[in-house]
Amino acid sequence: MVGYAFMGAAHSQAWRTVNRVYDLPARARMAMICGRDAGKVAGAADRLGWDAYTTDWRALVASDEIDVVDICTPGDSHAEIALAALAAGKHVLCEKPLANTVAEARAMTAAAATARAAGVRSMCGFNYRRVPAVTMMRQLVADGRLGVIRHVRAAYLQDWIVDPQFPLVWRLQRDRAGSGALGDIGAHIIDLTQYVTGQRITGVSAVTETFVKERPLPAGSSGLAATANGSVDGGGPPTGPVTVDDAAVFVARLDEGSLATYEASRFATGRKNALRVEINGSLGTVAFDLERLNELEFYDATRPTAEQGFTRILVTEGEHPYMSAWWPPGHIIGYEHSFTHQMRDFVEAVATGADPTPSFADALQVQLVLDAVTRSAELGSQWTEVEPALAALAV
């Protein structure tokens, strides 16, 4: 694993757990973790349960001890690490968004296709697909229980940078993160809704905004000071420009005729991690809220009119996706379980020679949507078609 902070910890917990919860064809061994600071990565290896550590991801990629590379770094290093790992014959799990640019995502997808011919697998970490209620939404759509999908309504709302004094961390710098709320949390709802509906976004009209354009540099961040136009304002701490969107809102068309709305914001005061999706079809509706992730709301319009209404399904039965390995019905699960489910599916695919999903090609398609949203916003919300992912593969 490369990176040991937020996702590093979440993935480590999943790697520690997955062998013990699920009966897998191969056991995952936590061989080596990488970070840039020797002291900190040593502590992380100990705390998170890794056998060894290194400060050079190239050493990790080159190691004969390692079969799988799990990339948990900011987007500016995804492509370089993934390309090297695939070339070295390592299976790759890469956090979302796949890359910072379409060009990088194309190169990664092409490399994944080449590596696949040699039996090397790759997957992108859109973990919310593996929340049992989300997987169940997809099954309901696939089984025709919603009929023809007319509307997709998705929002992913957070509020962690409402304070203008919140520092200019890497997530607020385009060269490190690619984009802001759009690529960070908007990417999740793009992937999730396409996964659930089985439809692709074909075109968008978007607005984006950066509400706070200048922020204090984080304390002791020499690398940041070099990239931001550090300035001293009235004797206060040095500041730098925010170079990503704080919020992105767009309407979209899906390829089977649905209309969709998307909202991704880090300025939704009071909303901490509110991922909400509602899908309306000719025969029914499903609604999901990550803050109540064990539940799914289902409206079945085929029931007798007098009995129609939203049903709250508690998605904790053994027959629900992923749930048979956990607790008795009603004993709920949480955020971290989606990562354990992700590792289960990834290990199973690698061990049995199957292709895990979402593939790099799937993640490239999400990247193309992000790109279309950015271009539309720059062109005053002009309607912008999403470039087909297949054409990108030929590059």
Ligand X SMILES: NC(=O)c1ccc[n+]([C@@H]2O[C@H](COP(=O)([O-])OP(=O)(O)OC[C@H]3O[C@@H](n4cnc5c(N)ncnc54)[C@H](O)[C@@H]3O)[C@@H](O)[C@H]2O)c1
Tell me how far, at minimum, the Cβ of 259 lies from ligand X, in Å: 27
340: contact with ligand X by CB under 6 A: no
Tell me how far, at minimum, the Cβ of 7 lies from ligand X, in Å: 3
Tell me how far, at minimum, the Cβ of 95 lies from ligand X, in Å: 3
Query: What is the helix (H) or strand (E) element at residue 150, kind and residue range?
Result: strand 149-157
Which C-beta is closer to ligand X: that of 41 or that of 141? 41
Count how many residues are written for the chain: 395
CB atoms within 10 A of CB 274: 17
Q: Out of 53, 57, 250, 326, name the contact with ligand X by CB under 6 A.
A: 57
DSSP at 366: H
Q: Out of 1, 3, 369, 384, name the contact with ligand X by CB under 6 A.
A: 3
Tell me how far, at minimum, the Cβ of 94 lies from ligand X, in Å: 8
The rounded distance, in Å, linking the Cα atoms of 353 and 210 is 45
Restricted to residues 223-282, the positions that interact with ligand X (CB under 6 A) are none
Q: Out of 34, 102, 323, 361, name the contact with ligand X by CB under 6 A.
A: 34
Taking a C-beta distance cutoff of 8 angstroms, is the pair 374, 208 a contact? yes
Question: Minimal CA–CA distance to 134: which of 287, 346, 343?
Answer: 287
The rounded distance, in Å, linking the Cα atoms of 54 and 65 is 13
Looking at 6-14, 83-91, 225-233, 348-356, which segment touches ligand X (CB under 6 A)? Answer: 6-14
Tokens standing for residue 235: 């004797």
Q: Out of 70, 104, 184, 246, name the contact with ligand X by CB under 6 A.
A: 184
Q: Count residues binding ligand X (CB under 6 A).
A: 21
Q: Out of 28, 79, 86, 96, name the contact with ligand X by CB under 6 A.
A: 96
Taking a C-beta distance cutoff of 8 angstroms, is the pair 242, 172 a contact? yes
Pair type for strands 91-95 and 68-71: parallel
27: contact with ligand X by CB under 6 A: no
383: contact with ligand X by CB under 6 A: no
186: contact with ligand X by CB under 6 A: no
Taking a C-beta distance cutoff of 8 angstroms, is the pair 278, 144 a contact? no
Tell me how far, at minimum, the Cβ of 33 lies from ligand X, in Å: 9
The 10 Å CB-count burial string (b at 16+, else e) for 84-117 is: bbbebebbbbbbbbbbbbbebbbbbbbbbeebee
Q: Out of 28, 33, 35, 186, name the contact with ligand X by CB under 6 A.
A: 35
Tell me how far, at minimum, the Cβ of 121 lies from ligand X, in Å: 19
74: contact with ligand X by CB under 6 A: yes
Looking at 71-79, 82-90, 276-284, 296-304, which segment touches ligand X (CB under 6 A)? Answer: 71-79
127: contact with ligand X by CB under 6 A: yes
221: contact with ligand X by CB under 6 A: no
72: contact with ligand X by CB under 6 A: yes
59: contact with ligand X by CB under 6 A: no
Which C-beta is closer to ligand X: that of 3 or that of 186? 3
Q: What is the DSSP string of 120-140?
A: --EEEE-GGGGSHHHHHHHHH
DSSP at 387: P
356: contact with ligand X by CB under 6 A: no
Q: What is the DSSP string of 204-251?
A: EEEEEE-S--EEEPPTT-HHHHHHTT-EE-TTS-EEEE--S-SEEEEE
110: contact with ligand X by CB under 6 A: no
Tell me how far, at minimum, the Cβ of 21 lies from ligand X, in Å: 19
Which C-beta is closer to ligand X: that of 274 or that of 313? 274
Q: What are phi and psi of 69, to 5 degrees?
A: -115, 125
Residues within the interface to ligand X (CB under 6 A)? 2-8, 34-36, 57, 72-75, 77, 95-96, 125, 127, 184
